[in-house]
Each structure stands twice: as structure tokens, then as C-alpha cells.
Amino acid sequence: MKRTNGRGEWPVSLLNVLLEEKIVAIFRGIEDRHADRAARALADGGIRLMEVTMNTDGALGIIARWRSLFGSEAYIGAGTVLDLKQAKEAEAAGAQFLISPNLDEEVVAYGASRGLSVWPGVMTPTEIVRAWKAGAEAVKIFPMTSLGLAYLSELKAPLNHIPMMATGGVTLDNIADYFKSGAAAVGMGSKLVNLDWVREGRFDLVEERARAFVSVVKAYVHAN
């Protein structure tokens, strides 16, 4: 099933893409002048899901531009979508999915009504089930750096029917452990989008880091 918002068509649900690709790159605080080259480096490195957080200066403009630049290579979403107003702004800019650090059931319902994937942020079992009942096809467990992998494993025991994306604390050394603990996917910020490298023009390092993460994910999927 397809839908369009004037910038071309995309699948109604990106859940299958999320489950297959397993990595969402988070661009937070990136300067507009660096954004396109950084996204190009990640796309060349094999990253297929990229979000620009709404608290990044010029986020809506970046999202709109990336839909044109990378529409055939990657799915572009909005992150840190806190409320319905921001959800509508992000969709108007061309966002193909919405991710939040919080659960706003209005945003989930809006996404469902518009055929727009929404993966809200949750922490407790109650929030997870509320998000699922509201229509979220997957949830974002946050903040994983503080919660830890044992917490994720405990959540998955009774709630294994709900796909969970874990965000926070992911490194090359432990990303496989996230999947073993029950994460269907991971959200990654600075460990993947190193803004120091970006500002220094070391886009070769950004691409190399992306390839390394994609390689680890592929190896894990192949082995399991």
C-alpha cells in the first residue's frame, strides 16, 4: 500500500524497513551547512533510516531537502516530535516517520490516521502497552544508557509481541548485545553521527563508521 504527500510515494508502514535495517541514525544539533554531506556519508555507508530531531535548528528545511536528495536511498524522519503541532509540521516537511522521547497518544493517533509511522518513546510496561493500544507499531525504549540491557530483557519477557527500538548507549562493541536482549532495532546518535568529525570535514570517517555498524548488524542477522 502506498501513499503520497506531494514528494513521491512511500510504504504506509515502515515497520518492516525498521526491522530489517535495525539502525536509525539520529541527527541532533547538526549545522545546516554540514547536514547534506553528513547524510550523504551515512547513506553511502549503508544507513537507510535517518531522523532529524525537531530541536535542531532548521530541522524542517533539512527534512524537506533530504527527501529530494536521498529519497531513493534512505527514509527520512523527524525525531523529538513532542506534540501534535510538531507532528503536523514534520509531515508537511516530508517526514516519513516520527520518533519521540515521550508518549503522546494524539501523535500516535494522528500518524495512524495519516498512514505515517510513529515510534513513540516509552520506559515502563504501562507506557509500552498504552502506546501499542493507541496504534504504535513499535516503541522506542528510552533512555537505554540508564536503564541497561537487563531491563530490556525483562520487558521483552511479557511483551515480546511489541517491537522495541532501544535508544542510548549503543556502540560497535555492544550493538549485538542489544539485539540479543530483545531490541528489534536501535537508535544511534553521537556514536554514529560524530559531529566533531562532521565539523572537521572528516566525512570519510563518518562513512567508515556507518559501514562498520551496518556490517555488524548484517553479521548478526546472518548468524541468527
Domain at 36, CATH number: 3.20.20.70
Indicate the DSSP class of residue 218: H
Within-domain flag for 176 = yes
Q: What are residue 24's DSSP bridge partners?
A: 187
Query: Where in the sequence is the domain holding 150, given as residue range(s)?
Result: 10-218
CA distance 139 to 124: 11
Tell me which residue has cell 527534512: 63
Tell me which residue has cell 510515494: 9
Catalytic residue among 21, 22, 51, 207: 51
Within-domain flag for 223 = no
Q: With 90 as the cut, is the pLDDT of residue 55 above it? A: yes
CA distance 13 to 2: 9
Within-domain flag for 89 = yes
Total number of domains in the chain:
1
The answer to whether residue 127 is catalytic is: no
Within-domain flag for 2 = no
Q: For position 25, what pLDDT does the model report?
A: 98
The answer to whether residue 137 is catalytic is: no
Q: With 60 as the cut, is the pLDDT of residue 85 above it? A: yes
Q: With 80 as the cut, is the pLDDT of residue 155 above it? A: yes
Planar angle of CA 183, 185, 187, nearest 5 degrees: 110
| Region at 37 (left for phi over 0; alpha for psi -120 to 50; beta for the rest) | alpha
If DSSP codes are grouped into helix, strand and coil, which group holds residue 69?
Answer: helix
Within-domain flag for 39 = yes
Within-domain flag for 4 = no
Within-domain flag for 197 = yes
Check: CB of residue 121 under 8 Å from CB of residue 35.
no
Check: CB of residue 182 under 8 Å from CB of residue 161.
no
Within-domain flag for 3 = no
- Average pLDDT of span 115-144: 96
Sign of the alpha-carbon dihedral angle for 183, 10, 210, 145: negative
- Average pLDDT of span 18-41: 98
Q: What's the pLDDT band for 208 if we cut at 50, 70, 90?
A: very high
